[in-house]
Structure 1
Amino acid sequence: MMKGLLILFLLACSLPASAAQMFKCSLTHNLENGDADPTVEILSRNAAVLDTGTTFTFSTDGKNKITSPELQPVKSEDGETVLAAKQNNLLFVKLKNSYVLRNQKEGYVFGECVPDK
């Protein structure tokens, strides 16, 4: 019994811990206008995103925090694997250096993300 507990303890200690990391990103807002070209507005060049590995947390207005649901690996159209999740009518996507929140007509992109030191 004790030997089994010791093995479980050693295995648990050897598992990598997923540390959260803060990023500073450029935040843009995209709005579909029916038949017209979409509008794109830069909201911030210093927006914060907290990445925990399987979720990300951000604010589009600087006040209210939004956390993505648990992200799952998905193959994109170009063959890349991205992390994505849907919640209600919202799509959350984590790419290499960017994070996306999107519904059918509007979206927010946190791009050009760099680690916040």
Structure 2
Amino acid sequence: MTGAIDIAISGEQSQDLTIKGAQQRIVRVRALVAARGDSEQSQDRLDELCTIVETTIAGDPSFGGLARQYEYRATEFVFSGNGDQPMSVAAMSFDVTVLTRRENPQAVA
């Protein structure tokens, strides 16, 4: 049985907080988690991998000092029993709040 985790940014929203350029950005982080194997084993492995994602993020909630906070938003599941090896997939979404400045959006405020 195999499994994989892929983490990417799937979107971002920005809001000006002050007239002087302070901004709050909500970055949507999406973790795609997949496990392959027979149905019951792949679902158990998927649960293990999802727990790894959640505990890793909870272990560093500031994302290395970049984020002000994060919120777990949702998990969507897809289970496929087709083919020789069934696959289970979970898409986990987190909103990460980052404070920046309008004149330098790459720097954390």
More helix by share: 2
| Larger RCO (alpha carbons 8 Å, 6+ apart) | 2
The bucket for the TM-score relative to the shorter chain is under 0.3
How high is the TM-score relative to the length of structure 2?
Answer: 0.27
Question: Based on CA coordinates, which of the two structures has the bigger radius of gyration?
Answer: 1
